[in-house]
A and B are shown apart, each in its own frame.
Chain A
Amino acid sequence: DAGITQSPRHKVTETGTPVTLRCHQTENHRYMYWYRQDPGHGLRLIHYSYGVKDTDKGEVSDGYSVSRSKTEDFLLTLESATSSQTSVYFCAISDRVGYYGYTFGSGTRLTVV
């Protein structure tokens, strides 16, 4: 997907365990985003980053944290996974959103049991 990869692609984890999802880009884009997609809710922004060590919360950030120590990597951590965090997680990147929109990664399907 145009220089953006997410890992893992699928994960099953137990309630209460921490989970980290990784987004890696080779485009050197400034902006990176984490979304979750659920039936009936569409895409909802969890956290985003506008540069190394610069991050901010989205509309559904509770229970999630992020880190961006390098331009190319944006990590999403579920501090203590709950069943309500079962979802498909998409990472997206952009250089200039107003001109180019986002490019999405392939997604991570996370199941919390």
Chain B
Amino acid sequence: QKEVEQNSGPLSVPEGAIASLNCTYSDRGSQSFFWYRQYSGKSPELIMSIYSNGDKEDGRFTAQLNKASQYVSLLIRDSQPSDSATYLCAVTLYGSEKLVFGKGMKLTVNP
């Protein structure tokens, strides 16, 4: 069973701080990695994708990938109350057109 693990949280940070969300995966053949944000009562929304080792930045969001350690993370700089949501890590399996999701990490940003 190919798995994606996220710390269950919840994570609480003050406004303006850096929030760090982590994810590990078991399939060494995984090639593509995604972060989704899900507000309460809403559907998941894609916010970041990363395919190569290293960092990828998009505004206040940075995704980090380390394939050797089978580890992907999401950093949110200058966290805002509007960032309060559940963040889902998703990974493609080798040779598959399906995503496997972690169970999500609930982030609360306190004003």
Show the binding face of A for B, using Cβ within 8 Å: 1, 31, 33, 40-43, 45, 48, 50, 58, 90, 94, 96-107
Contacts and interface: CB of A to CB of B under 8 A. Distances in A.
A99 B46 CA distance: 12
B92 A43 contact: no
B77 interface: no
A43 B88 contact: yes
B104 A102 contact: no
Contacts of B97: 31, 48, 50, 94, 96-98
Contacts of A97: 32, 92, 96-99
B67 interface: no
Contacts of A41: 103
B101 A103 contact: no
Nearest to B96: A97
Nearest to B32: A98
B46 A42 contact: no
A101 B43 contact: no
Contacts of B96: 97
A94 B38 CA distance: 18
Interface in B17-34: 31-32, 34
Contacts of B34: 101
Given A98-B97, A101-B49, 15 more contacts: A1-B43, A42-B101, A42-B104, A43-B44, A43-B88, A43-B101, A48-B98, A94-B97, A96-B97, A97-B32, A97-B96, A98-B51, A101-B99, A103-B46, A107-B42
A65 to B, nearest CB: 19
Contacts of A43: 44, 88, 101
B46 A98 contact: no
Given A31-B97, A50-B97, A97-B99, A106 B31 contact: no
